[in-house]
Structure 1
Amino acid sequence: MAKLMRILVLLAAILPPLVWPIAAAAESQPNTEVYVVPVENTIETGLAESLQRAFQAAEAVHPHAILLRIDTLGGNIGAAMDIGKLIRQSKIPVIAYVERHAISAGAYIALNAKHLAMAPGSTIGAAEPRTVDGKTADPKTVAVWKSEMAAAAEATGRSSRIAEGMVDVNLEIPGLKAKGELLSLTAEQAVREKIADGIFATQEDVITHYGYHPQLAVEHKMSFAEKLARIVTHPYVIPILLIVGIVGLVVELLIPGVMLPGIIGGTALVLFFFGHIIAGFAGWESLLLFLLGAVLLVIEMFVPSFGLLGVSGIAAVGVGVGIAVYDAKYGIQSFLVALLAAAVAAWIAVRYFGRRGVWNRLILQDRFTKEAGYVPVKSYNYLLYQEGAALTPLRPAGTAVINGQRFDVVTEGGFINAGEPVTVVHVEGVRIVVRRKADTLGEAGRVVRHKSETTE
């Protein structure tokens, strides 16, 4: 327990120093004209938060324009909508430069920019929303996303119908899109359809085209903490971290002394909360709830509470995880999966490593064997109905000689003088009960007479 508590304390202690240096300081240059922000890889909630900080950093250097260098195959629709809102509300004009791909959610981000430029060989479009398993989203989601794409295009003076064609496979656009296809435009098509302003080979060419000086451009540098946060807040990474973290701590608790599972589990949980705090989804209350739940679960193993502490602990851990994730429902689902994995790990630990388990402190499982140096209690059942004589007065305890051996014996409550014949009438462990022989014979005679009378 002490070891697990140290791991939990370490988890709470090392997060603040990691979080403090998260701000990515903008390179302050005099007369900055263009602030360049990369929009790369999968669009997810971590990227949305990172871009928000990037826009704040841009405002600090007062550029004339923000250039989003886009190369993405899409991602989370909700995150894309947050980024689109950020672009529309920006007081600084935004230029979108599609370096390679602006697919799906990436197309939406590009359409929200006031200016849109394409690189040779780049593409934009194919924005049909899909579920996590790759299936087309439900009609309601498709309709909402279609209207969002159209609105983004209209707000920047572009064709809303082309934007809708990027989402709706059933929409037909003569000369450009047949029914049953998704619209994806090449750089040349995007310029011809007035979606893009032009085709430019380099970022410097784009900056020059819009009237700025490339040498006065500053690129936003994402901090290591932000890069890490983008990874650990990815929907596919969240359940993995929770499974590794909770399973690691459970195994460390049940099989103390191994250390490695506890270290791995603690590291996974540190990454989980660190990433979500950096991304802006989680506050310290989520971490405190998680730690409180973990402590309650540990106490439950040592202080019986009829399950009250255990249930409260699981609830606190679940709520802590739920409020840390961008989507509480997804967070709870991931936690339940991790809980199931922890239950399997606990069963394996009990099944194959039970001898080292923490329950050995709670349940006596030691065996007193000859090999361990213990002498088993000798059985005296063979003395039953044997005859002997009282060696000392039995009042009622004393010593008797039976079959030539001395034994400590007791009577049934009466007194027997030394030298009187006795008979063993009961043996219980090491307790030998005797009766005066004459009384034994008299009892036997009464039994015989009783049987005889009953027969007659």
Structure 2
Amino acid sequence: MRRSAGLFTNILLKILFLIIFLTALVGQPLTGLAEADADKAVVVARYEGAVVPITAKYIERVILHAEDIGAQACVIQLSTPGGLYTATQELVSYIVNAEVPVIVYVSPSGGWAGSAGTFITVSAHISAMAPGSRIGAAHPVSIGQSGEAQDVPSEKITEDAAAWARSLAQMRGKNADAVEQAVLESKSYSDSEALKLNIIDLRAENLNDLLEQVHGRTVTLAGGTTVKLETKNAPLVEVPMNFIEDTLLTLSNPDLAYILMTIGMAGLMVEIYNPGLIFPGVVGAISLLLGLYSLGTLDAYWGGVLLIILAFGLFITEVFVASHGLLGAGGVISFLTGSLLLFSGGPPGIGINISLIVTTTIIFAALMALLITAVVRGQKRRVTTGAEALIGREAAARTDLTPAGFVFAEGELWNAVSTEGDIKKGEKVVITGIDGLRLKVQRYK
């Protein structure tokens, strides 16, 4: 046993070491560039999806890598429906204070710089869009104390976002009025409209077209340093997300966070119903912690989380308290309400698929109905312990029953009396009743 445990531990440590090694390897992009060519390189990052905390950390790493190798520019190919306001502020801060020119390119065709993407695009030293892409609808969304989106978003939040958008636009020499309207009036602009209104610097068919168009442009960095770009035919350095970033981004998916928390609660319920199974409890605990982490990074409404926790508390209590389904019904209502409130009124791109909520609720409602039915049947079933448990069982006559005698039942010798005449030794009988310590039997048919 010890040898097996040691072997398992050794294998586990090797796997862990391999993961750490590969993570470190992936985290450091292989440029394949000579040191002399590094200052001519253009670092490229691609991101599609909602803006969450790990997005900002990824972009920070990309910019720092561009600075470390002395690249002449950093291109962020972006397509996002929006995201968290705090994560957007952090990401924009990295761009504004970068020591290397940052170019935000809304792509591919059909891409979107919605909400948070508007601030990110406008903050870049050079902003570009692919044909068919769009930008705008940057009106902030606030969540009221009830957990529901307010009909009129907080005036302070809106004014702050508008002032920030105007400030970024003015800093980059863009049309501050048009950018501000994207915040105050949720205006959206096509790529051609954005170029015409001076919201962006240029339109580009693809990355090569972008690098050709920005070639020769002069960019002023935060410290006042000016940089002339020579990006035509420049070597590209791709910096994808590493293993850890990709994992954290996956965990930042609202649907996955919801599923993990649900699995976690269900696993703990199974462990409580059947103590000692271990596996459901371990899986449940891990899933619950991962789910709560994900919900925390996504700024979920904690009133919704508490309602879901209350629901599972009611589900568990239903088994131990004879409420005839009232606690279970309350749990289903609490679960559904909490699920709907989790991201109610949240920013674009952050929300749970309504079909997932409905499906999960129906499954739990069905399981609770089955559980309650089983509990009620158990409560109605007549108690059959001790001697009464023998009724209906088979036995063997150890002596002739004329009509009294002895039978062997459930490993014991019992005094018995036949209720239908004499029964010979060795014949099978069925126990039909009990009179004190004497069994009533009849011939087995």
Equivalence map 1:233-382=2 (5 Å): 233-235=252-254, 237-256=256-275, 261-262=280-281, 264-269=283-288, 271-272=290-291, 325-326=296-297, 330=300, 332-333=302-303, 335-350=305-320, 367-371=385-389
- Mapped partners of 2:411, 2:305: distance in 1: 48
- Mapped partners of 1:16, 1:341: distance in 2: 41
Once the two structures are superposed, what CA deviation does each residue of 1:244-292 show, in whole Å capped at 9, x if it has no partner?
Answer: 213312322331466664464245246448x76xxxxxxxxxxxxxxxx
Distance 1:104 1:41, change over 3 A: same
Amino acid in the other structure paired with 1:41: G
> Offset at 1:39?
2.7
> Offset at 1:366?
11
Q: Residue 243 of structure 1 contacts residue 341 of structure 1 at CA under 8 Å; is this kept in 2?
A: no
For residue 214 of structure 2, the aligned residue among 210, 223, 230 is: 210
Q: Residue 261 of structure 2 contacts residue 290 of structure 2 at CA under 8 Å; is this kept in 1?
A: no
Equivalence map 1:163-182=2 (5 Å): 163-169=179-185, 182=186
Distance 1:25 1:194, change over 3 A: same
Amino acid in the other structure paired with 2:311: A
Amino acid in the other structure paired with 1:220: V
Amino acid in the other structure paired with 1:129: P
Give the secondary-structure state (helix, strand or coil) at the position aligned to 2:28: coil
* Bigger Rg, which one: 1
Equivalence map 1:191-202=2 (5 Å): 191-202=195-206
- Mapped partners of 2:371, 2:149: distance in 1: 41
Distance 1:254 1:331, change over 3 A: farther
Q: Residue 233 of structure 1 contacts residue 272 of structure 1 at CA under 8 Å; is this kept in 2?
A: no
Once the two structures are superposed, what CA deviation does each residue of 1:340-393 show, in whole Å capped at 9, x if it has no partner?
Answer: 233133235547779x99xxxxxxx99544427699xxxxxxxxxxxxxxxxxx
Q: Residue 44 of structure 2 contacts residue 75 of structure 2 at CA under 8 Å; is this kept in 1?
A: yes
1:105 aligns with 2:116: yes
2:78 aligns to what? 70
> Offset at 1:65?
0.7
1:384 aligns to what? none
1:130 aligns with 2:141: yes
1:59 aligns to what? 67
Q: Which runs of 5 or more residues in structure 2 are unaligned?
A: 1-12, 216-230, 322-369, 376-382, 391-409, 413-445
Which region of structure 1 is more displaced relative to structure 2, 61-70 or 28-37? 28-37
Q: Which runs of 5 or more residues in structure 1 are unaligned?
A: 1-12, 170-181, 277-320, 358-364, 376-456
Which region of structure 1 is more displaced relative to structure 2, 127-136 or 23-32? 127-136
Distance 1:120 1:349, change over 3 A: same
- Mapped partners of 1:138, 1:366: distance in 2: 66
Amino acid in the other structure paired with 1:98: V
- With the length of structure 2 as denominator, give the TM-score of the two structures: 0.57
- With the length of structure 1 as denominator, give the TM-score of the two structures: 0.56
2:344 aligns to what? none
1:37 aligns with 2:7: no
Amino acid in the other structure paired with 1:186: S
Q: Residue 15 of structure 1 contacts residue 270 of structure 1 at CA under 8 Å; is this kept in 2?
A: no
Q: Residue 242 of structure 1 contacts residue 334 of structure 1 at CA under 8 Å; is this kept in 2?
A: no
Amino acid in the other structure paired with 1:241: L
- Percent identity, aligned pairs only, is 24
How big is the alpha-carbon RMSD for the aligned residues of Structure 1 and Structure 2?
3.9
For residue 162 of structure 1, the aligned residue among 178, 191, 215 is: 178
Distance 1:337 1:230, change over 3 A: farther
> Offset at 1:83?
0.8
